[in-house]
Structure 1
């Protein structure tokens, strides 16, 4: 039986472990945390959103980012302090604007394929994760933003997505709890939401039933590969350990860049921080006032998910500030104020804040496939769409491992 090591037990690592175990591999997964899904896969916005597949590489994003630089509550915040990694990443991000159209269409295709795989996994393994298949409603406060969304919608439709414009009255029919004045919206009935942490933990348990071994609390200190095997060294407390396998898949989020450098690969991933709050709906009035249909407010860059009857997840913002996990009050406050303004009937007395670091490549496309060495593979760099794309990219990298193709790695997946 072929042996494979996976670094990382977030959503991409666990879906990859499952896909490889299903193909008959002996799989060992390493993670520095005590449990799976404790970093970026812990409390994200919850959207399984093919409708959010538009990549950010556009002149409009650059202009907005520059305009927002002096606002602490801005949806996109850039710390201007000098950093070679940050500014080289930004330069490559700008260079990818020419691929905006292609990458948006390909991401849409990938997201649609991923939904099928994820729902199938959940049904097969009986994973309960507060799934809501009510669609996602994008809301726009003015004609300029709506028209820009209309242009992006053409690319999403070219990728195969059913996303249609809706009037303000239709929006209130789709989600009666929605308040405020809106110019219009777009609705994607096939999109969904769910609790990424619950799903990943459930799938990790299914992996263990298939014989996957998880080693938690493991700080990987070194990884080496030759033509025959991969050697992983890690530390657990004061003990030092090592394991040799035939192949390895790197799914380590923002840590993938450092691991790739040890293996001779350049992987330009930058940690883009996102924030969320989970509003505990402890009374019946709040449960009725909170929306069930998932929303994306274009002006505020805020997304929502209803996680069962008693939780309401609100997430947003992008912060380029290095490997910084601080939960800043001035970044949480706009999320809270947004809830209080649009859903005043929701009690916000019990709110849990969170911040996570999204692993983003300059192209906004995940790195999926082989590295320079024939037995090293990558499934990482999904950015804000890790939850949305993971089930598809896991199948893609598992197919690459299984077929043992000799083609060079591809940053742009093709379905």
Structure 2
């Protein structure tokens, strides 16, 4: 047995394809973390898979430079009255964690209306998300071990800290839900905070520490897994834009694409939509409403170019509850800080007034870390109003979705990929002359 809890020799044996599935061709649209994990789970079950991605490489949008946390401890959904009241207070403060562009937009305001109607489901959705995050963790660890993917993984836990008793008391209520979902997360005193992460500067009332959470570079992981998919026979069509999706009379999927100046239409037996914020438009072409909204988040990567900065930067992952900022140490020479939520449509502009609070936060809590070389980034989180991903069958036969993971795509994708791959396999088996199928767990 190895540290991942599995037999390394057994885990490296490749699955044998089910002969009934050899002629079935499955398309996955999107090569972010959800698309690539889905393609991998399908390939491990012996299916023929093609991934269609508009960028030149995998993981070039939301999966490029997120906060890095694999965080069951951050599984609380946002549909609560407390979050709404905070959002109203922050609306007109440009540096606030949440910013809403008030410009009229039917999609934006209808999405907000649906978000508010999900408040009664806050408790259930939070508990369900925790359980999914815990399951995903084991799948992701086993994948990384099996395929030998190095992604700056740090298993040092995640420390949430709170400046006031009011913040701590609110977090205590959330902690009860997290524990109901099966997460071990313990309260810590200011002295314990300093012992867990000595580099952190500031005055704190208390916090919570989740030892089982971890961090890693989502971009490195996704690129490594894309290479593993290719070894399993997955076709990855990069630089390819999907122009239209439709279903034929015999229920096959027709996908019209363009690569450079070359237009093409390919036929598939099944489709899994993993297109992030593009999922809504694709679903609409198939007569379905998947109300994903792009919620922009920012990150900065601080390059630790000198010995003093490397020594002064934290190794334990952090979450500042008041500022809504998360951090991850990505190897010896990079420090990732991420946060903010911006409702401003499909706007990918990197705004200085949104980046500056992240830099200021570093200077406040880690004054010895040089911020001379900081790389900013912005990405669009694909969020559904209930903060739960859409995973499963669509209304059209043979069409499936694995999208809308919001701020937890990195945390949840390894589990949702397994779920949708199981459904696709069952769909193929039900249409096969034989009723049994060999399935290899991811």
CA drift of 1:19 comes to 0.1
CA drift of 1:40 comes to 0.3
State yes or no: 1:46 paired with 2:65: no
In structure 2, runs of 5+ residues without a counterpart are 1-21, 431-442
Secondary structure at the residue paired with 2:370?
Answer: coil
How many angstroms apart in 1 are the aligned matches of 2:429 and 2:354?
A: 46
Pick aligned residue for 2:186 from 164, 174, 187: 164
How many angstroms apart in 2 are the aligned matches of 1:260 and 1:137?
A: 38
User: What is the aligned partner in structure 2 of residue 13 from structure 1?
Assistant: 35
User: What is the aligned partner in structure 1 of residue 57 from structure 2?
Assistant: 35
User: What is the aligned partner in structure 2 of residue 412 from structure 1?
Assistant: none
Alignment length, in residue pairs?
A: 407
Structure 1 stretches (4+) deviating beyond 3 angstroms? Answer: none
1:197-216 matches, within 5 Å, as: 197-216=219-238
User: What is the aligned partner in structure 2 of residue 413 from structure 1?
Assistant: none
Describe the superposition over 1:141-191 as per-residue Cα deviations: whole angstroms up to 9, x where unpaired: 001111110001000000000011000000111111111000000000000
Pick aligned residue for 2:122 from 91, 94, 100: 100
Contact 2:277 2:382 (C-alpha < 8 Å) held by counterparts: yes
User: What is the aligned partner in structure 2 of residue 274 from structure 1?
Assistant: 297
User: What is the aligned partner in structure 1 of residue 348 from structure 2?
Assistant: 325
State yes or no: 1:187 paired with 2:209: yes
Describe the superposition over 1:324-379 as per-residue Cα deviations: whole angstroms up to 9, x where unpaired: 00000000000000000100000000000000000000000000000011100000
1:173-252 matches, within 5 Å, as: 173-226=195-248, 227-252=250-275
Contact 2:241 2:259 (C-alpha < 8 Å) held by counterparts: yes
CA drift of 1:320 comes to 0.2
CA drift of 1:404 comes to 1.8
User: What is the aligned partner in structure 1 of residue 412 from structure 2?
Assistant: 389
How many angstroms apart in 2 are the aligned matches of 1:290 and 1:307?
A: 11
User: What is the aligned partner in structure 2 of residue 264 from structure 1?
Assistant: 287
Contact 1:374 1:406 (C-alpha < 8 Å) held by counterparts: no
How many angstroms apart in 2 are the aligned matches of 1:244 and 1:172?
A: 58
How many angstroms apart in 2 are the aligned matches of 1:403 and 1:316?
A: 39
State yes or no: 1:346 paired with 2:346: no
CA drift of 1:406 comes to 12
CA drift of 1:239 comes to 1.1
Contact 2:251 2:397 (C-alpha < 8 Å) held by counterparts: no
How many angstroms apart in 2 are the aligned matches of 1:70 and 1:405?
A: 52
TM-score (normalised: structure 2): 0.91
How many angstroms apart in 2 are the aligned matches of 1:232 and 1:28?
A: 12
How many angstroms apart in 2 are the aligned matches of 1:218 and 1:144?
A: 50
How many angstroms apart in 1 are the aligned matches of 2:429 and 2:38?
A: 20
Secondary structure at the residue paired with 1:386?
Answer: helix
User: What is the aligned partner in structure 1 of residue 84 from structure 2?
Assistant: 62
How many angstroms apart in 2 are the aligned matches of 1:242 and 1:346?
A: 52
Contact 2:391 2:419 (C-alpha < 8 Å) held by counterparts: yes
In structure 1, runs of 5+ residues without a counterpart are 408-415
- RMSD (CA atoms): 1.1
Describe the superposition over 1:117-150 as per-residue Cα deviations: whole angstroms up to 9, x where unpaired: 0000000000000000000000000011111100
1:283-302 matches, within 5 Å, as: 283-302=306-325
State yes or no: 1:400 paired with 2:423: yes
How many angstroms apart in 1 are the aligned matches of 2:245 and 2:428?
A: 22
1:81-92 matches, within 5 Å, as: 81-92=103-114
Secondary structure at the residue paired with 1:112?
Answer: helix
User: What is the aligned partner in structure 1 of residue 382 from structure 2?
Assistant: 359
How many angstroms apart in 1 are the aligned matches of 2:167 and 2:429?
A: 45
Secondary structure at the residue paired with 1:404?
Answer: helix
CA drift of 1:405 comes to 9.1
How many angstroms apart in 1 are the aligned matches of 2:164 and 2:150?
A: 38
TM-score (normalised: structure 1): 0.97
CA drift of 1:199 comes to 0.1
Structure with greater Cα Rg: 2
Q: Which moved more, 1:368-377 or 1:219-228?
A: 219-228
User: What is the aligned partner in structure 2 of residue 372 from structure 1?
Assistant: 395
Pick aligned residue for 1:113 from 135, 149, 153: 135
CA drift of 1:228 comes to 3.2
